[in-house]
Structure 1
Amino acid sequence: MKKVLAYIRPHLLFFLIAPVFKAVEAAAELLQPRIMTTTIDVGVTTGNIDVILHNGLLMLGVAAIGIVGGLGSSLFAAKSSQGFGADLRQGVFDKVVALSFADIDRYSTGSLITRLTSDIIQLENTSMMMQRIMVRAPLLGLGAIIMTMSISTPLGLALLAVSAVVLVIVAAIMKRAFPMFTRIQQRLDAVNSAAQENLSGMRTVKAFDRATFEVKRFDAINELLYRTSVRAGRTMAFSGPAVSLGMNMTTLIVLWRGGQLVAGRELHIGQIVAVTQYITQVLFSLSMLGFLLINLVRAGASAGRVAEVLETEPSIVDSPPAMTVGAAAAAEAAASGAAPPRVTRGEVEFRDVDFRYPGAAGAPALQGVSLHIAPGHTLGILGGTGSGKSTLVNLIPRFYDVTAGQVLVDGIDVRHYRLADLRAGVSIVLQDTVLFSGTIEENLRWGAPDATHDEVMEAVRMAQASDFVESTADGLGAFIGQHGVGLSGGQRQRVSIARSLLRRAPILILDDAASALDFRTELRLRRALRSYTKRSTTTIIIAQRVTSVMEADEIIVLEDGFIAARGTHRELIRTCPAYRDLCRLQLGEGAVACGQ
């Protein structure tokens, strides 16, 4: 919670000024009934026009001061609360970006979206209400009770007693409602996650005719949110009647007892009018406090969820752990004032690597993996679904950290690079193609914003994307929607490949990057990649097709996280039955015979 409150500090001045203006407004409201008392008892009852005019002008002046106080409070409260919300939203987003894949896996996408939007909006609104209501309501309520006591002590004590009882009842209701609002936010997470999944996967839903099933599933999740919200609303509904009942009873008591005091000439009519107005002010202040408490309960649940993200420490950071291979060289360079290590040659080595996903049961995803890729060489990786292919390459840019063993790049453990420097040396085409809303050129320049137009076009040609890029009316300026809407699967893959080639990193990773390409386009792409890798680029190709990796310097076959076989295409045909069967299935018996 402290990390959430820390975002108020830059706006603390406005945060403190707003209540001061609100206090001025409350004081002006408290003075009005007292002026009215004199106006009635001295001016109206005696027909003294001078007193009536004087007090009338005085009331207008006090009202003007109250208006200035209210406007000033609203202005400064808006500035501080909106600034607080904007900074907090940026802070949460920065934290999410800094988290590793393993850290983000703890949250659903819908949950993170809810925390970035509705939770922070709830905190913004509550912050504004606190600056305006938390000062005004107590000042107005206590001030009205004190002013009532100054007129009649018995009436003031009665008002104080009823107010205390009402506050206790409201506090008990709030205590019961707090866990309900926490559950509401959790249900809202589930609704957002379901909506996000269905919107992003709408084509799949329609292709498998699962719309009816998904509608029923969403309806069930939405129903849970509805029921939880109704329970919370039912509980909170008691607060309003409790305040109204208490204040109405107080009004009856004051009017009954006040009538007796007026009849006995102990009080005047104007004083009874003032006390009635003060009761109204106490009723208003208690209602405002109840409304504020409702929002505080909701904000408490939201603040806890936002704080959970802010307090999540990234499991993958720049600071190196214990000394391992390459650490001494990195430390020596740092001590001498030299620049931190950067990826230059593209040499990659795995040393007895084990990896298990956090919280995963069963066998590790990778076990005892050791391999070496020389600079400028190409490694092909084949294996069945779940064999650990993508997991293996995700360890190179430190999307995850090894459970045991080491991953070295240019002879230095990847944990001893700065993350930015390490990832600047690795260009990767992920298995799931990700494009962003914008033009084709904007997507291409993600990894190389300073690339020239000629360099962009060269990358497009190498990725075999020039045909459809040049066929569009706007060329590179053609707009594509979120996730590449408007492009086919093969076109999205080719744009993604071109983006990675344009970066010209020493290490290029293609994770099933040509799965949506036809054989002819893939053949042209392979030829272009051969010319690209002649520039001393280390290339790792994950594929399901043998043709994608058969020209690699070395091919490894992964099975259940182990390296089951390794060698060149010809060597594996002779020594690995699984590889030979895959070749026979994809290429035919004749191709296998030629390979042998």
Structure 2
Amino acid sequence: MDRKDFNKELNPSSLKDMVRRMGPLIRPYWFRALLGIAMTIPAGALDSTVAVFLKYYVDNVVVAKNATWAGYIPVLIILFTVVQGVLNFSSTYFNSWVGTKITTDLKKKLYKKLLTFDPCFFDTHNSGDVVYRFYTDADTASTTLISSIKDFLTRFFSSVGLICVLFYNSWQLTIIALIVLGAAVLPTQYVRKKIKKITPKIVTSGSDVITSYNETCNGYKTIASYNLQDYQLKKQYGMLDEIFSLSMKMVKHTNWLSPVMHIVISFGVAGVIWFGNSLIIKGTITSGNFASFIAALLMLYTPIKSIGNKYIDIQKAFLAIERVFEMINFKPKIKSAQESVKIDGIKESVEFDDVVFEYKPGLPVLKHVSLKVPIGKTIAIVGNSGGGKTTLVNLLPRFYDTTDGSVKIDGLDVKKIDLQSLRKHIAVVFQDNFLFSGTIRENIMIGNPEATQEDLDKAVQSAHLEDFIASLKEGLDTYVGERGVMLSGGQKQRIAIARAFLKQAPVVILDEATSALDNKSEAIVQKAIDNLMRNRTVFVIAHRLSTVQNADKIIVVNEGTIVESGTHEELMKEGNGAYKALYNAQFKKKKEVSDEK
């Protein structure tokens, strides 16, 4: 699913579909939900009491001058209003409780789903898309669902009560009122189509703004060092102006609905008054009937006049539900097979068998690569940038799946191995390792949450972190900041190596683990890496060839194919070999730098 599909135009759900989809989330809280909804019945129906009492007030007090009714009716109106107020408060409380719980559950469900997505999903979607779809849409979907159902049922039972009052007072006037009511809601279909077209654009623009904020937080040093403040400001202003334009377009195409309804309804009120006059004169209805009818009609029409704005909110909620459940029902391509097997270790070899891989169809990054690595051996993968080195090792833990061919562990295709079991046996140290917001201890313990303090101390020692930890006031409990911003590159690498130590995986992938470090940091990190590599099957991707000379085998990958393989000594004997050319170029450059110093 690319970003275009991610923010594609969707058809809003109907109320029936919305309730059906959200039903399983509501079910655990059905009693409170039912109680909150049940309270809307009398709360809505009590709207009609004022109109009913008005008939008797006009007929018995205003016209007949009956003093008894004059004392009772005001008290009854206050009493019923108090009861309605208590019911409205209780209904709102229970519905809000249920709505908030559903929102929380939905966010948990979505986050759990997010963790199952393939790396290629995050390659093609920015952080704003993810935040909007997995967080903002969840709020809009569940919160508006509950409030919409509450409002709908309250207005429904209020309308039923008021329509009964209308019929009670005059069936002739009621027919006029209902015909006008039907005409007033007809334009909502046009508005629905406009909302469907504009909303995905607003969502996309909103996610772009969120991405911009995230980039500003994560890239503030780059912004400052390149004086990009004006550039970023112009970019952000452009996105905000786009959202303003889309919002005004939404207003233009939808907010005329309320005033149009107001005008249509005014014809209904005028028609009722005009025809009602003749009914009063003929004696068909009393003055009390007419006053009660007008009061009930205005109470029925008043919420209808504002239905335009409410309808927009409801349609947004329906679209949000579609978007949320599209994600919940989305099937990641990379997952455990239905009859996958769990492995308890790697006993013989890791093999790449005629592997072909494409990020985009028709553009192969790897072309029929075959490589067999016995356990306990160290394989170095070198070559020009963009040749496919990282892509090759990313196929082993199934960050991506092969387009053709297979990756095997002990002769078994990794696609047939349980995904968690597979990744449990592989540790990866990246060039830029991600540290989570938290302490050093928490970031290392990610490798094995059940590790003992002894295991942790051993991992710290093996990663050459003990001196650094000892220099910190809080030691292992020192807060590292978001993405480890409070640490140097070498410190972050050693924490990542300690994490890999704690995992105790038999296969280790080192993806340019020292390429971004200075010589001093590289030296100490390399010692930690040497400890990590002992008695393990290791794949080393390296730019600096001096770090891989002792590998059991070196393969040179250029333009998606293995062009050479052998030990350092064997490859250096090749007269015009690719490895020798790379090595000599680096050695020459290193000598030139040394001479300049």
TM-score (norm. length: structure 1)? 0.89
**Alignment match, 2:546:** 547
> Is 1:343–1:410's contact at 8 Å kept on the other side of the alignment?
no
Higher alpha-carbon deviation: 246-255 or 431-440: 246-255
Equivalent position to 1:245, from 240, 244, 263: 263
> Is 1:343–1:409's contact at 8 Å kept on the other side of the alignment?
no
**Alignment match, 1:355:** 357
**Alignment match, 2:302:** 284
Matched, 1:156 2:174: yes
Higher alpha-carbon deviation: 452-461 or 119-128: 452-461
Equivalent position to 1:315, from 321, 333, 336: 333
Higher alpha-carbon deviation: 278-287 or 560-569: 278-287
Cα distance in structure 1, aligned partners of 2:265 and 2:503: 71
**Alignment match, 1:371:** 371
Give per-residue Cα distances to partners, 1:371-404, cap 9 Å, x unaligned.
1222222111112221111111111111111112
Cα distance in structure 2, aligned partners of 1:198 and 1:68: 48
Matched, 1:133 2:151: yes
- Cα 1:418–1:225 change in 2 (3 A) is same
Offset, 1:80:
2.7
Give per-residue Cα distances to partners, 1:68-102, cap 9 Å, x unaligned.
33123212322332222222222221111112223
Higher alpha-carbon deviation: 83-92 or 454-463: 454-463
**Alignment match, 2:500:** 500
For 1:394, give the aligned amino acid: N
Give per-residue Cα distances to partners, 1:407-435, cap 9 Å, x unaligned.
12233221222111111111111233211
**Alignment match, 2:83:** 65
Give per-residue Cα distances to partners, 1:220-261, cap 9 Å, x unaligned.
232222211110112221122122223333334444444454
Equivalent position to 2:52, from 34, 53, 57: 34
Q: What is the 5 A alignment of 1:97-496?
A: 97-263=115-281, 265-287=283-305, 289-319=307-337, 340-345=342-347, 347-357=349-359, 359-362=360-363, 364-496=364-496
> Is 1:366–1:561's contact at 8 Å kept on the other side of the alignment?
yes
Offset, 1:39:
2.5
For 2:366, give the aligned amino acid: L
> Is 2:258–2:306's contact at 8 Å kept on the other side of the alignment?
no
Cα distance in structure 1, aligned partners of 2:132 and 2:590: 57
Secondary structure, aligned partner of 1:580 = helix
> Is 1:141–1:285's contact at 8 Å kept on the other side of the alignment?
no
- Cα 1:141–1:532 change in 2 (3 A) is closer
Q: Which runs of 5+ in 1 are unaligned?
A: 322-326, 331-339, 592-596
**How many aligned positions are there?**
572
- Cα 1:549–1:231 change in 2 (3 A) is same
Cα distance in structure 1, aligned partners of 2:124 and 2:217: 22
For 1:539, give the aligned amino acid: V
Matched, 1:582 2:582: yes
> Is 1:173–1:238's contact at 8 Å kept on the other side of the alignment?
no
Secondary structure, aligned partner of 2:370 = strand
Cα distance in structure 2, aligned partners of 1:267 and 1:373: 97
Secondary structure, aligned partner of 1:98 = coil
**Alignment match, 1:335:** none
Cα distance in structure 2, aligned partners of 1:103 and 1:313: 12
For 2:539, give the aligned amino acid: I
> Is 2:497–2:529's contact at 8 Å kept on the other side of the alignment?
no
Calculate percent identity across the aligned residue pairs: 27
Higher alpha-carbon deviation: 539-548 or 69-78: 69-78
- Cα 1:137–1:80 change in 2 (3 A) is same
Secondary structure, aligned partner of 2:46 = helix
Offset, 1:506:
0.7
For 2:351, give the aligned amino acid: E
- Cα 1:106–1:523 change in 2 (3 A) is closer
Cα distance in structure 2, aligned partners of 1:589 and 1:193: 40
Q: What is the 5 A alignment of 1:530-569?
A: 530-534=530-534, 536-569=535-568
Offset, 1:17:
3.8
**Alignment match, 2:4:** none
Offset, 1:193:
2.6
> Is 1:184–1:228's contact at 8 Å kept on the other side of the alignment?
yes
**Alignment match, 1:337:** none
> Is 1:243–1:283's contact at 8 Å kept on the other side of the alignment?
no
> Is 1:437–1:482's contact at 8 Å kept on the other side of the alignment?
yes
- Cα 1:194–1:360 change in 2 (3 A) is farther
Across the aligned residues of Structure 1 and Structure 2, the Cα RMSD in angstroms comes to 2.6
Offset, 1:346:
7.3
Matched, 1:89 2:107: yes
Q: Which runs of 5+ in 2 are unaligned?
A: 1-12, 592-597
Cα distance in structure 2, aligned partners of 1:251 and 1:521: 83
Cα distance in structure 1, aligned partners of 2:545 and 2:380: 9
Cα distance in structure 2, aligned partners of 1:48 and 1:496: 89
Cα distance in structure 2, aligned partners of 1:287 and 1:205: 50
TM-score (norm. length: structure 2)? 0.89
Offset, 1:570:
1.3
> Is 2:508–2:536's contact at 8 Å kept on the other side of the alignment?
yes
Offset, 1:361:
4.5
Higher alpha-carbon deviation: 75-84 or 547-556: 75-84
For 2:566, give the aligned amino acid: G
> Is 2:434–2:484's contact at 8 Å kept on the other side of the alignment?
yes
Offset, 1:444:
0.6
> Is 1:145–1:159's contact at 8 Å kept on the other side of the alignment?
no
Higher alpha-carbon deviation: 522-531 or 142-151: 522-531
**Alignment match, 1:594:** none
For 1:27, give the aligned amino acid: A
Cα distance in structure 2, aligned partners of 1:589 and 1:172: 69
Cα distance in structure 2, aligned partners of 1:571 and 1:293: 75
For 1:540, give the aligned amino acid: F
Cα distance in structure 2, aligned partners of 1:252 and 1:506: 84
Secondary structure, aligned partner of 1:365 = strand
- Cα 1:106–1:4 change in 2 (3 A) is farther
Higher alpha-carbon deviation: 99-108 or 295-304: 99-108
Give per-residue Cα distances to partners, 1:172-213, cap 9 Å, x unaligned.
333333321232112222222333233322222333333322
Offset, 1:479:
0.5
Cα distance in structure 1, aligned partners of 2:465 and 2:424: 24
Cα distance in structure 2, aligned partners of 1:20 and 1:547: 75
Higher alpha-carbon deviation: 382-391 or 73-82: 73-82
Cα distance in structure 1, aligned partners of 2:213 and 2:526: 39
Cα distance in structure 2, aligned partners of 1:530 and 1:511: 14
- Cα 1:166–1:283 change in 2 (3 A) is same
Higher alpha-carbon deviation: 244-253 or 83-92: 244-253
Q: What is the 5 A alignment of 1:496-535?
A: 496-534=496-534
Secondary structure, aligned partner of 1:356 = strand
Higher alpha-carbon deviation: 413-422 or 125-134: 125-134
Higher alpha-carbon deviation: 65-74 or 434-443: 65-74
Higher alpha-carbon deviation: 124-133 or 242-251: 242-251
